[in-house]
Amino acid sequence: MLGVAYLNGDYWARGDLAQMGREMGQLLTDGDIDPMAGEIVSFDEIPDALGRLSRGETLPGKVIAQLE
């Protein structure tokens, strides 16, 4: 949906997506939804994690990079 909104120039859809993103971010921040993280990696571990993602070795959860 994100690609469609940007490629077709639908400014209303872009605004809707921005609002949804803000709301999702707030739900995550408040702990109201679970991002289903399979693992959390440091910045230095990103290349290895991307390799595992490309090989399908990270299922079922997501890989999240913590940049702090």
Residue range 8-37, pLDDT digits in tens: 666 677 778 888 889 988 998 999 988 888
List of residues 6+ apart from 18 with CB closer than 8 A: none
Q: Residue 45: how many CB atoms within 10 A of its CB? A: 15
User: Which structural domain range is residue 67 located in?
Assistant: 34-68
pLDDT, average across residues 35-56: 89
**Cα separation, 42 vs 66, whole angstroms:** 5
- Indicate whether 25 and 51 sit together in one domain: no
- Indicate whether 1 and 24 sit together in one domain: yes
For residues 43 and 67, is the Cβ–Cβ distance under 8 A? yes
**Cα separation, 25 vs 11, whole angstroms:** 21
Q: What is the mean pLDDT of the chain?
A: 82
- Indicate whether 68 and 38 sit together in one domain: yes
Residue 47 pLDDT: 94
Predicted confidence (pLDDT) at residue 49 exceeds the cutoff of 80:
yes
Residue 2 pLDDT: 55
Which of 5, 37, 9 shows the shortest CA–CA distance to 20?
Answer: 5
